[in-house]
Amino acid sequence: MSRILVLNGPNLNLLGTRQPEVYGGTTLKMIEDACQQHAQAAGAIVTCFQSNHEGALIDAIHAAKGTQDGIVLNAGAYTHTSVALMDAIASVELPVIEVHLSNIHARERFRHHSYIAPVAIGQICGFGALGYNLAIDALVGHFKERSKA
């Protein structure tokens, strides 16, 4: 069974409580529960972690090396600012799928750039909470393709 870390960054603990017009009405707990269920059906096991602190997210990425097979990451606003997160991802050499609830390319210009994208195998954005399940499917598909090679 493949192991996937679902990692969420700053303010995503507030999901479902404010700005539902931008981020939807689903809470982070609902998203994490859906990830657990979806992963199980896809033959994967999910561990979820959220932090509002950049260093804690970096520690979680470091800890994933050797304990996880891949990462689904919504780095929140750190997406657009954090060279440190980009370096952490590059250092662990794990496949990472970048997820955003909103379509960051259709929003303010500062959200168009992602420090995560160059070190991720792909990006899924604009599909709301569904994006996490799509990312799990993409990672499981990636593991299957890789095992054939």
Query: Of the two residues 14 and 41, which places its CB atom closer to ligand CA2 in the complex?
Result: 14
> What is the C-alpha to C-alpha distance for residues 149 and 134, in angstroms, rounded to an integer?
23
11 belongs to the binding site for ligand CA2 (CB under 6 A) = yes
Closest CA to 71 of 123, 146, 136: 136
Contacts with ligand CA2 by CB under 6 A: the residue count is: 16
**Residue 50 CB, nearest distance to ligand CA2 (Å)?**
11
Please identify which residue in the block is written with the tokens 């060279």: 83
Q: Is 23 a catalytic residue?
A: yes
Residue 31 touches ligand CA2, criterion: CB under 6 A: no
Q: Kindly list the strands in the beta sheet with 44-50, ordered across the sheet, starting from the edge strand earlier in the chain.
A: 44-50, 2-8, 70-74, 96-100, 122-125
Contact footprint for ligand CA2 (CB under 6 A) = 11-12, 14-15, 18-19, 23, 74, 76-77, 79, 100-102, 104, 111
